Structure 1
Amino acid sequence: MTQALTPLSLPPVPREFGFFVDGKVVPAGTRDLSERRSPAHDVPVTRIPKCTTADLDAAVAAARRAFEDRRWSGLGGAARGAVLLRAAALIRARAEEIAYFETLENGKPIAQARGEVMGCADMFDYASGLARSLHGDSFNNLGDGLFGLVTREPVGVVGLITPWNFPFLILCERVPYILASGCTLVVKPSEVTSATTLLLAEILTEAGLPDGCMNVVTGSGSSIGQALIEHMDVDMLSFTGSTAVGRRCVEAAGRSNFKKLGLELGGKNPQIVFADADLDDAADGVAFGIAFNAGQCCVSGSRLIVERSVAEAFAQRVQAKLARLRIGDPLDETTQVGAITTAAQHDIILGYIQSGQEDGARLICGGEVLDTGEGRFITPAVFTDVTRDMDLARDEVFGPVLVILPFDTLDEAIEIANDTVYGLAASVWSKNIDTALTVTRRVRAGRFWVNTTLAGGPELPLGGFRQSGWGREAGVYGVEEYTQIKSVHVEIGKRTHWGE
């Protein structure tokens, strides 16, 4: 990736985008435009069309034509893989542009955005191999007269709804795997962070993806998103967002065509720290886990469950780490924590900080609006004297708010960790292998980290237990998620006639 040689500046005018259907950019025309203002600078940076349900119908129809005529699913895995490899190279070539618009619309630091974009290219590389290696099974043990096959077939047209917190990363944790399976898709990005999704559609077309295989419609979740969830000609829906909206996806699928669902939803993720851990490493991981992406992360480590004998001293280490964070302009190369992405989320975070204090929790640091003269910034907050029944300890705040819950025994730590409706992610910090493995086995979470947090790569699947979702994304499991299994029975020789 080519780094910017001069400090990045804001665009003089907002960039106008169309939407993307059947391999072409569709200009906004007479449609209303949604103007996105940078959450860090409060200046307009992009203008995106507000699509209509007729636009959505056209996008789904294009995806259906592309699927049914087998222009993509009928290709061999090598041919599909070659397109994904070319897309990876093009993502790397345009990484600076993608990262720039990711930062402008989302508010995350440019250095973080660059790292995410390069990780996304890796996902396309990895998925290209899965397009070639995806396979079924055979059964040669059914007797001399019968041979059995199990085949995997693409599920069909996939609707993909992505959130505003990791617009390009979450998109690329899904798109290459969906395409590797042979499916076609219609994407509805968040209305506040649509630019990089539209850039990916252009990149895939340039890489050789046939027209109609990836379509992007833009607009609000309440109109276009809901219509995509309910669409009768969409075979599967992948949604990433809150558990409340995920529940509406389940209800809508039942009311429409019983489409298959993949859901990655909320989390209230524990960071479990034992006294025998490397406490400096653990403090760094806990600070990173709550402050990364300004805490706007579904796998954010928002509950610190720490052994009581070291709880007070460990809290001081975490405070010291958070105090040194560089918060501010995300276009500054040295910034570590950027802006809160939406005004609504900014108010929600501040509301939890206030209500937590009213409920009796003690704020020991942070939780303040950082006055930079422009934009929305909140300093990471840490609460002690938290009880497990408080909203602060149970709800997904989706911001830089950490609660501390002490424990005395291993069993108590596991009990506290599992005391949630969620099960998305968890971390344990201990140098005792027995302790670490016991916690890993008994804490219910789809992603688990031992002596680290928020680590990973395209090889491992993503997803949650309980109200954190259904299904898995990424890895070989992420390709299989977008397939249907068919059993094939092959008669060998002449049939024994019925009744004779």
Structure 2
Amino acid sequence: MSNKTLAQWSAMADGLQIEARAFIDGEYVAAASGNTRPTINPANGATLAHVASCGPEDADRAIASAKAVFEAGTWANLAPADRKKVMVRWAELIEANAEELALLESLDVGKPISDTLNVDVPSAARTIRWSGEAIDKFYDEVAPTSHDSLALVQRLPLGVVAAIVPWNFPFSTTAWKLAPAIATGNSVILKPASNTPLTAIRLAGLAKQAGLPDGVLQVLPGPGGSLGSHLARHMDVEGLTFTGSTPVGKTLMEYSGQSNLKRTFLELGGKSPNIVFADANLDKAAAMAATAVFYNGGQTCTAGTRLLVERSIHDAFIAKVIEHAKGWMPGNPLDPATSMGPMVDEAQFNTVAEYVRIGLDEGATLAFGGKRVACVDGGHFHEPTIFTGAHNKMRIAQEEIFGPVMTVIPFDTEADAIAIANDSIFGLAGAVWSRDINVAHRVAKAVRVGTMGINNYFGGDMTVPFGGFKQSGNGRDKSMHAFDDYTELKTTWIEFE
């Protein structure tokens, strides 16, 4: 927690020394081509830094280094307890540099400084510490064989893993990928989103400072189209983990099949249903309905963008939600009082504005918001927006907008709510609000999503897995289950003479 004011954060930003080079084989280096790409502050349009724009040549060099250190066993063969010490030290260094990391994330992504400092950075540190602490408690198996044989089942690291992370939660999502992959002994090539690379670059330097051997973690900022596809097709990359859009995830799966069938784990899009029954605690449900959509400007894969409301309470409940939406008007991200910042860039702002137009054309009612807000000159600020009079076949109910846009859909019965909730290509998250334990559990079980809240939204921590059903992806981040994605099972069968 920091007591810094807007003026103090702004002054710190003015004096910030930003590292913008790639991190390959333990050193910060320029891209082989010398190319750079500006990274832009979405709150004011200012250029923060000219970041190395890596290409296939850089990837090949990084992969060769990662493979060499893996095959040498420098990290992979280290005792789990010794790997743990390095990862715990890494987490401590994140905490020691929390203000710098939070400021980088806020400037690069447009996230409110109160969120980056109090949520994103502590979450990343906890993820890395938790995974490090867990790794020497992760046992192999002895299978139940006959008396004259012994079968050992071991979990072994994959080798070189490519991690491609998104722009909406770049720091915390990066930690979700790196922590289990590195803890289990893999070498990782991290490709941050091209428009939000700054905390990933800084994180690599802290990893080296913590004692991670050179080549175990490398960071390659660069374009997804060329660099990302090269990593995904590379024959020496044995694992690929990705968080991002469903169309890109499908393409990466194709690349796996076209190359070496690298194990590919995807956390993709969502259009999550937030279901409110008439008997719920409506004040709490209304406050969380607004949070579920407007937190992080709606740029959240789990956002509860479909609000399903029992028809008998529809009007009164939406009035409560609108009152809470007023508290999510965007502002300067460096102001500790700001709850919602800008869209990440102009393209994302234009996408949100286009969906507002689509919603109106489809016949939905714009009950709140829907316009640009002038908070800081040059920024991409959009009002929290609520559509009513909608049905589930509308594009605003079926397609992921990735912005602060809520679509309200009425329902009449429990079966109706379940049918609407499941009528989606996605299956990432959702929630149900009811004081009836039978209704709550029946609905929570019936809705086909990876995470379902009962009388809460955004529930969960490092102890539980996170991921989706259907076209929301496969594999799981967080918890001990994440280790499954980064390890192979090997059986050794011994027969006694």
TM class, shorter-length: over 0.9
State the Cα deviation string for residues 73-121 of structure 1 (Å, max 9, x = none): 1011101111110011000001111110101110010000112101111
1:436 aligns with 2:444: no
2:31 and 2:58 in contact (8 A); partners too: no
1:290 and 1:402 in contact (8 A); partners too: yes
Structure 2, gaps ≥5 residues long: none
1:13 and 1:45 in contact (8 A); partners too: no
Structure 2 CA distance for aligned equivalents of residues 189 and 3 of structure 1: 30
Structure 1 CA distance for aligned equivalents of residues 460 and 370 of structure 2: 29
Give the Å deviation of 1:478. 0.6
Q: Which residues in structure 2 correspond to 1:387-398 (within 5 Å)?
A: 387-398=391-402
Instruction: Letter of the 1:312 partner, please give it.
Output: D
Give the Å deviation of 1:125. 1.6
1:198 and 1:216 in contact (8 A); partners too: yes
Instruction: Letter of the 2:8 partner, please give it.
Output: P
Q: 1:89 aligns with which of 85, 92, 117?
A: 92
Instruction: Letter of the 1:270 partner, please give it.
Output: P
Structure 1 CA distance for aligned equivalents of residues 2 and 413 of structure 2: 50
Structure 2 CA distance for aligned equivalents of residues 74 and 324 of structure 1: 52
Structure 1 CA distance for aligned equivalents of residues 287 and 66 of structure 2: 46
1:173 and 1:458 in contact (8 A); partners too: no
Q: 1:451 aligns with which of 440, 455, 470?
A: 455
CA-based RMSD: 1.4
1:419 corresponds in structure 2 to: 423
Q: Which residues in structure 2 correspond to 1:38-117 (within 5 Å)?
A: 38-114=41-117, 115-117=119-121
Instruction: Letter of the 1:139 partner, please give it.
Output: A
Distance of aligned partners of 1:250 and 1:8 in 2 relative to their CA distance in 1, 3 Å threshold: same
1:133 corresponds in structure 2 to: 137
Q: Report the 3-state secondary structure (helix = DSSP H, G, I; strand = E; otherwise coil) of the residue aligned with 2:292.
A: helix
1:380 corresponds in structure 2 to: 384
Structure 1 CA distance for aligned equivalents of residues 226 and 282 of structure 2: 48
TM-score (norm 1): 0.96
2:257 corresponds in structure 1 to: 254
2:328 and 2:384 in contact (8 A); partners too: no
Give the Å deviation of 1:456. 2.0
Q: 1:306 aligns with which of 297, 309, 313?
A: 309
Give the Å deviation of 1:12. 6.3
1:497 corresponds in structure 2 to: none
1:143 aligns with 2:151: no
1:482 aligns with 2:483: no
Give the Å deviation of 1:15. 3.2
Structure 2 CA distance for aligned equivalents of residues 165 and 383 of structure 1: 23
Aligned length: 492
Instruction: Letter of the 1:124 partner, please give it.
Output: I
Q: 1:346 aligns with which of 335, 346, 349?
A: 349
1:153 aligns with 2:159: no
Give the Å deviation of 1:353. 0.4
Give the Å deviation of 1:13. 8.3
2:94 and 2:125 in contact (8 A); partners too: yes
Structure 2 CA distance for aligned equivalents of residues 78 and 268 of structure 1: 41
Give the Å deviation of 1:3. 5.0
2:412 corresponds in structure 1 to: 408
State the Cα deviation string for residues 405-446 of structure 1 (Å, max 9, x = none): 111111111111000000000111111111111111110001
Give the Å deviation of 1:46. 2.0
Give the Å deviation of 1:189. 0.4
1:14 and 1:45 in contact (8 A); partners too: no
Instruction: Letter of the 2:125 partner, please give it.
Output: A
Q: Report the 3-state secondary structure (helix = DSSP H, G, I; strand = E; otherwise coil) of the residue aligned with 2:136.
A: helix
Distance of aligned partners of 1:484 and 1:321 in 2 relative to their CA distance in 1, 3 Å threshold: same
Give the Å deviation of 1:368. 0.8
1:472 corresponds in structure 2 to: 476
Give the Å deviation of 1:11. 2.6
Give the Å deviation of 1:465. 0.3
1:8 corresponds in structure 2 to: 9
TM-score (norm 2): 0.97
Instruction: Letter of the 1:7 partner, please give it.
Output: Q
Structure 1 CA distance for aligned equivalents of residues 77 and 174 of structure 2: 24
Structure 2 CA distance for aligned equivalents of residues 337 and 2 of structure 1: 18
Structure 1 CA distance for aligned equivalents of residues 360 and 50 of structure 2: 39
Structure 1 CA distance for aligned equivalents of residues 486 and 346 of structure 2: 35
1:326 and 1:334 in contact (8 A); partners too: no
Q: Report the 3-state secondary structure (helix = DSSP H, G, I; strand = E; otherwise coil) of the residue aligned with 1:79.
A: helix
Structure 1 CA distance for aligned equivalents of residues 33 and 220 of structure 2: 16
Structure 1 CA distance for aligned equivalents of residues 34 and 17 of structure 2: 17
Give the Å deviation of 1:29. 7.4
Structure 2 CA distance for aligned equivalents of residues 166 and 13 of structure 1: 21
1:130 and 1:479 in contact (8 A); partners too: no
1:92 and 1:121 in contact (8 A); partners too: yes
Give the Å deviation of 1:324. 2.4
1:37 and 1:44 in contact (8 A); partners too: yes
1:184 corresponds in structure 2 to: 187
Structure 2 CA distance for aligned equivalents of residues 382 and 3 of structure 1: 33
Q: Report the 3-state secondary structure (helix = DSSP H, G, I; strand = E; otherwise coil) of the residue aligned with 2:128.
A: helix
Structure 2 CA distance for aligned equivalents of residues 158 and 257 of structure 1: 13
Structure 1, gaps ≥5 residues long: 494-500
Q: Report the 3-state secondary structure (helix = DSSP H, G, I; strand = E; otherwise coil) of the residue aligned with 2:122.
A: helix
Instruction: Letter of the 1:391 partner, please give it.
Output: R
